[in-house]
Amino acid sequence: MAERAQPVSQWPGIGAAALVAALILGTLAAVAARAETSGGFTSADWAALRFTLTQATMSAFFSVALAIPVARALARRRFRGRRALIALLGAPFILPVIVAILGLLQVFGRSGWISDIMGVFGLPPIRIYGLHGVVLAHVFFNLPLATRLVLQAWQEIPAERFRLAAQLGCNGMAMFRLIEMPMLKRTLPGVLAVIFAICLTSFAVALTLGGGPRATTIELAIYQAFTYDFDLGRAALLSALQLALTAATALVALKFSRGDGFGTGLDRALRRWDGGLPAIDTFWILAAAVFLMLPLASVVISGIAGFFDMPAIVFRAALISVLVAAASTAVLLLLALPMATAAASGRYGFVELSGILGLAASPLVIGTGLFILIRPIANPTTLALPVTALVNAAMALPFALRILVPAAQDITARHGRLALSLDMGKWTFFTRVLLPRMRPQIGFAAGLGAALSMGDLGVIALFADPQIATLPLQIYRLMGAYQMQAAAGGALLLLLLSMGAFWLLDRGGRWHAEA
Amino acid sequence: MLKLDCCVIENGNFTLSADIQIKVGTRVAIIGPSGAGKSTLLETIAGFRDLKQGQIFWNGRQISNLHPGKRPMAMLFQDGNLFPHLTADENVALGLRPNGRLTKEEQTQVRSALDRVALHGMGERKPSELSGGQQSRVALARVLVQRRELLILDEPFAALGPALKAEMLDLVADLVAETKTTLLMVSHDPQDARRIANQTVLVADETVFAPTQTEELLENPPPSLRAYLG
Amino acid sequence: MKHLLIAAGLLSATSAIAADKPQLTVYTYDSFVSDWGPGPQVKEAFEATCDCELNLVGVEDGAALLSRIRLEGENSDADVVLGLDTNLITAARETGLFAPNSVSADFALPIEWTDDTFTPYDWGYFAFVHKADATAPANFRELADSDTKIIIQDPRSSTPGLGLLMWVKAAYGDDAPEIWAGLSDNIVTVTKGWSEAYGLFLEGESDMVLSYTTSPAYHLIAEDDGSKAASAFDEGNYLQVEVAAKLAATDQAELADQFLQFMVSDAFQQIIPTTNWMYPAVTPAEGLPKGFDTLTVPAKSLLFSPDEAAAVRDQALAEWQNALSQ
């Protein structure tokens, strides 16, 4: 087929994708090039691979399976505080790992709230440690993301389709088959792939909730290769394995998520007519809220005592984190928007693939690789913040793309012909049509990126300058100095900042743009 | 003159061949059975589809390799003719300057185009705040300011009621007459063709037949058209 | 934008002034440089004597610190590395990147110290910390036979975790696998680092947590809380000795020696107990801070020499992994 005229240009997006690929593969190559040994896989590595695949597959499956009814309930119901609930549901995703672990175990642990309640009835405490614990923790982290992504796809179905179906007298099940099933078929593979990739690189969560060395993941093996064995060759090899697994998953997901958009819709507010049983929706919303909120509540409760008693240095760290998050969000959008645009004009595979690599890249490998690359040119410590912003952006990129690409595709499909026939320039289409039409998605992606960057320890630990510490790093330092209460206060502050950034940006995108 | 010179269009598993000429200033209806390729033909002329063989000329100039926006034609689609997030004013303005800000003078042009289609004072409204007929009028106002020599309609009024559709067609007829524009329009309804088009092109049996006088064609339809008209 | 430029100008101006003085760069672990660690006080105290600028650069932990030095090799910016322990010394020595020094001090270590390259600055006993009112098992076998729940750290990612690995190996040798097998049902979970483990213990997830005998001192001195205690095991408790060394390729050899000598002086040593929460390598003239006298002191201390530690490390890790992966 001949190349048809496109209303948008692919090249900036391809350039951005190449840049991201260069960052991830270049740092990997830099690490490999420094290897003194050629390091092969050990039998322990294969065991780690097996465990990693098992837990990531199960985590992705359960996160997505549970996200479907929750997202459907949220899409169908309108109630007071719905938006706040959706925003709050996103919180686990952006918590620093150590805070989330403590929060989760405060609820589900041996002496957690649930075990305490069971104790009242003479029951033994729940056994949380093991594969099921790993999956539970990963569902806690990723259910909100899965729900948001599926909910968004739900909301992108034009209101007209639901009206049509309602007019045809479709009940809940028929409407599901007619409209929602095709949407899910298109959306779920991508969501599954993203969560699978996130869980692939899990380390501290998998180890702690897994209860011991049988829960060794590839990421832990990479860490071990780096610091315990100083075997850069093996670290690079394991990291390449992680990348290959993610790339393979992404390719499979892409293959299944091709499909047409939902055609044109006018900007009508989304209303649904398939009542269904409100009790079922209420159940799912409540169940998800309780599951996700309890550990958050424990973070808040533990944090309050220390919150008003934090050293000034914590607020300084908070300010630095906000600045890094702002820079990281800007970089994220600069990369993600052209990439989504290119994906919308047909360069889907390459762009998405290079985007998703950010998930699979081991932060340790990226950080070390950058360190190796930067050191001959400049003092890495002075570049700690820009590097952190860049790496955080690369890590958030896959999420941003999942959010932006479907919207960009739909908008290009809907309005591309008209723009072409008007002889609208590519830049004008980008700024006057694509950007304003994608505002809700851009706000969501930016909010997620900012929140993720805020909560991510990232590579700053590798480049750290004692004077410039981000809030997550400062929280770790507080814990390392026995200051658990101040650390809990810091975690609460971080939670508030992340949620605030997310709410502000997400809200900004949706201002005057319902649904 | 619009000339389709030994054109072959491929769309999936069917091909369409066209070798016709249309004089400047004529109003041509394109009719034919559903699925015969009417829309495919228009999309090809407008540049959204590539030709398999042949060439398209406008007044002797080869246009078949031009970008859709560079062809001397404006097109209205079955749907999606307006950007929902832009006001009527802004939508019309895109016809004048798709890539920039309007001068004062051009703003006046936009307003008078909206006045011409009887949408005085509605420039600030967004499409969702306009009725279907009003949305069509905004699109026509844009066509008006585009000042292209050829107007292509792919049933943009199909969703409107008969009276409203007739009204729109009359408006189109007036507009093309005022601006001496050549009109190509797909139609399902022979009455539409009678109402507005002095010539009609039949698309059937994978062929685009040469234009004939509308009345003549409808009085003595060839077999393929007769089956369609019933 | 203007403000940023002014700020940048000020920053470069201050660094220009600082550049006139000789600079000593010391790589250490992150908790050393944190505001609650010894770093800020050490910097102030040393700069008061040296007419130089001391740059403390924090790297995650001891193992990551050594990796960083190996990564930088002979071009390292570091003049001194502070924060390795006996488990890392042999690997560090084998890099050939470190040079001997002539520091002399009257070390107050439970063992004799003769290494002329790696100089100790503090030490401590690994121990299980528990609630003061709970009865603690007297040794690993008793622990394994009890219902006592413990949280430990992963030896692959944590210094105390590796310490415990060595502890069991030093105490039980070839019987170590059997001990680990016995402990496996006592271990609630294994964490990446000390902070997670200690945090979970404080939340009540376990009866005991692997830490140091000095941990209760923090709660007692800083929080006036005597509710935590550390237990001495009758096999002996394993020692951690933290050391510093000079890089061979340093361009500030003299200043580096000066720093290492300062490190074993009272000015440095008196900072250690209540910031790093370890025993000072040289007891300061005014003795240990109040509260340290209440700490459990194990009757017997265990420590592999660096070479022994390097030799048994991989096997001990494999035994640990096998026993706990069942």
With beta carbons under 8 A apart, name residues in chain A contacting B48. Answer: 4-5, 417, 420
Which two tokens mark A414? 């809907």
> Does the residue B124 lie in any domain?
yes
Residues of A with CB under 8 A from a CB of B: 2, 4-5, 264, 266-268, 414-415, 417-425, 427-428, 432-433, 436-437
Question: What mean pLDDT, rounded, does chain A reach?
Answer: 83
C-alpha pair distances (Å), B119 with each of A80, B114, C11, C31:
39, 5, 62, 71
Q: Which two tokens stand for residue B17?
A: 């061949």
Q: Residue A383 gets which letter from DSSP?
A: G
pLDDT, one tens digit per residue, over A270-306 is 555 555 567 888 899 999 999 988 999 998 998 998 8
* Secondary structure (DSSP) of A174-226: HHIIIIIHHHHHHHHHHHHHHHHHHHHT--HHHHHHHTSGGG--HHHHHHIII
Identify the chains in contact with A, defined as 3+ C-beta pairs within 8 A: B, C
User: Could you read off the pLDDT of A151-205 as tens digits, one per residue?
Assistant: 888 877 777 777 777 666 677 777 777 778 888 888 888 889 888 988 988 888 8
Is B87 inside any structural domain? yes
Buried b (16+ CB within 10 A) or exposed e, A284-314: bbeebeebbbbbbebbbebbeebbeebbebb
Residue in chain A closest to B68 (alpha carbons) equals A421
**Residue A210 at interface with chain C, using a CB cutoff of 8 Å:** yes
Q: Taking residues B115-119, what's their average pLDDT? A: 90
Average pLDDT over residues A496-515: 75
Mutate to test the interface with C, among A214, A217, A479, A485 (most CBs of C within 10 A): A479
> What CA–CA distance (Å, rounded) separates C222 from A484?
12
Q: Assess if residue B119 is contained within a domain.
A: yes
Q: In angstroms, what CA-CA distances link A417 with A4, B48, B87, C29, C91?
A: 11, 8, 19, 60, 66
pLDDT-derived band of residue A260, with 50, 70 and 90 as boundaries?
Answer: very low
Q: Give the minimum alpha-carbon distance from C252 to chain A in angstroms, rounded to a whole number.
A: 18
Task: Please list every residue in chain B whose beta carbon sits closer than 8 Å to the beta carbon of residue A425.
Answer: 98-99
The stretch A370-387 carries a mean pLDDT of: 83
Chains B and C touch (3+ CB pairs under 8 A): no
Place of tokens 């984190």: A321
Of residues C6 and B36, more confidently modeled: B36
Q: Are C177 and C326 in contact (CB under 8 A)?
A: no
The predicted pLDDT at position C282 comes to 96
Interchain CB distance below 8 Å, B95 and A422: yes
Number of Cβ within 10 Å of residue A322's Cβ equals 18
| DSSP run (H or E) holding B68 | none
The confidence band for A472, taking pLDDT boundaries of 50, 70 and 90, is confident
The pLDDT of residue A39: 63
Place of tokens 């040079």: C99
Beta strands per DSSP E along C148-233: 150-153, 187-191, 208-212, 228-231
pLDDT above 60: residue C14: no
| DSSP conformational letter for C21 | S
Asked whether residue B225 is domain-assigned, the answer is no
The answer as to whether B122 is a domain residue is: yes
Q: Which candidate in A268, A417, A421 is best for mutational testing of the B interface (most B CBs within 10 A)? A: A421
Cβ contact B75–A424 (<8 Å): no
Average pLDDT, chain C: 90
Residues of A in contact with C181 (CB under 8 A): none
C256-C261-C264 Cα angle (round to 5): 130
Whether the per-residue pLDDT at C319 is higher than 50: the answer is yes
* C-alpha A403, offset from chain centre: 10
State which residue of chain B sits closest to A415, comparing Cα positions. B80
pLDDT confidence of residue A86: 80
CA distance A223 to A134: 19
Assigned domain for B126 exists = yes
pLDDT at position A259 over 70: no
Q: List residues bridging with B207 in a β-sheet.
A: B17, B204
Percent of chain A with pLDDT over 90: 17
Neighbours of chain B (3+ CB pairs under 8 A): A
Q: Which residue has the higher pLDDT, A249 or C118?
A: C118
Out of A92-96, A424-428, C166-170, which region has the weakest mean confidence (pLDDT)? A92-96
Assess whether pLDDT exceeds 90 at residue C320: yes
Around C228, how many Cα atoms within 13 Å sit in the side-chain half-sphere?
A: 29
Q: Is the pLDDT of residue C171 over 60?
A: yes
Most confident range (mean pLDDT) of A243-247, A282-286, C148-152 is: C148-152
Question: E strand or H helix at A507, and its extent?
Answer: helix A484-510
**Confidence class for position A381, pLDDT limits 50, 70, 90:** confident
CB contact under 8 A, A422 and B84: no
**Which of these, C215, C184, C221, lies nearest to C199 by C-alpha position?**
C215
Measured between beta carbons, the chain B residues lying within 8 angstroms of A424 are 69, 94, 98-99
A-C contacts (CB, under 8 Å): 153
C155 neighbourhood in chain A, CB within 8 Å: 228
Which of these, A408, A413, A417, lies nearest to B39 by C-alpha position?
A417
User: B47 and A418 in contact by Cβ < 8 A?
Assistant: no
3-class DSSP state of C248: coil
| Token pair in block for residue A430 | 């980008």
Nearest to A372 by CA among C79, C70, C247: C70
What band does C318 get if pLDDT is binned at 50, 70 and 90?
very high
Position B113 in a domain? yes
Q: Give the closest-approach CA distance of A208 to chain C in angstroms.
A: 5
Kindly state whether A102 is in contact with chain C, defined as any CB-CB distance less than 8 angstroms: yes
Neighbours of A111 (CB within 10 A): 16
> What's residue A258's pLDDT?
56
Asked if residue B120 is part of any domain, the answer here is yes
Q: What is the per-residue pLDDT for C7? A: 43
Sign of CA dihedral A256, A260, A265, A271: negative
Q: Once rounded to an integer, what is the mean pLDDT over residues A400-406? A: 84
Mean pLDDT of A201-229: 88
Percent of chain B topping pLDDT 70 = 100
pLDDT tens across B26-73, in order? Answer: 999 999 888 888 888 998 998 888 888 999 999 999 998 888 888 898
Candidates A111, A462, A478; nearest CB to C205: A111
Residue of A nearest to C203 (CA): A106
Q: Stretch C167-172: mean pLDDT, rounded? A: 96
CA A97 – CA B64 distance, rounded (Å): 59
Which structural domains are found in chain C, ordered by start?
A: 2-123+240-292 (3.40.190.10), 125-239+298-324 (3.40.190.10)
pLDDT band at B2 (very low <50, low <70, confident <90, very high): very high
In this complex, does chain B touch chain A, defined as having at least 3 beta-carbon pairs under 8 Å apart?
yes
CB of A44 less than 8 A from some CB of C? yes
The confidence score (pLDDT) of residue A272 equals 58
Q: How confident is the model at residue C183 (pLDDT cuts 50, 70, 90)?
A: very high
Highest mean pLDDT among A78-82, A468-472, C226-230: C226-230
Residue C58's nearest CA partner among C39, C84, C75 is C39
Separation between Cα atoms, residue C58 and residue A349, nearest integer Å: 41
User: Which residue, among A422, A430, A438, would best test binding to B if mutated, counting the most B CBs under 10 Å from its CB?
Assistant: A422
- % chain A with pLDDT above 70: 89
CA distance C56 to A85: 45
Locate tokens 């499956």: which residue?
A61
Fold of A11-260+267-510: MetI-like fold (1.10.3720)
Q: What is the mean pLDDT of chain B?
A: 89
Q: Do C324 and A212 touch (CB under 8 A)?
A: yes
pLDDT value of residue C81: 96
pLDDT at residue A267, as a whole number:
44
Question: What pLDDT is recorded for position A514?
Answer: 39
Q: Would you state the pLDDT for residue C292?
A: 92
- Which residues face B16 on adjacent strands? B9
With beta carbons less than 8 A apart as the criterion, state whether B63 and B56 touch. yes
Find chain A residues with C-beta within 8 A of B75's C-beta: 421
A463 → chain C, closest CA residue:
C59
User: Which residues form the domain of B132?
Assistant: 82-147
pLDDT of residue A347: 67
Distance CA B101, CA B110 (A): 12
Distance between CA A330 and CA A453 in Å, rounded? 11
* Confidence label for A511 from pLDDT (cuts 50, 70 and 90): low
Confidence grade of residue C41 (pLDDT, cut at 50, 70, 90): very high
Domain total for chain B?
1
Winning range, highest mean pLDDT, from A132-141, A210-219, A418-427, B43-52: A132-141
Burial tier of A34 (Cβ tally within 10 Å: 0-12, 13-18, 19+): middle
Our CA-based measurement puts residue A334 at a distance from the nearest CA of chain C, in whole angstroms, of: 21
Question: Among all residues of chain C, which has the CA nearest to that of A478?
Answer: C36
Contact residues on chain A for B94, CB-CB shorter than 8 A: 422, 424
Q: Which comes out higher in pLDDT, residue A382 or C271?
A: C271
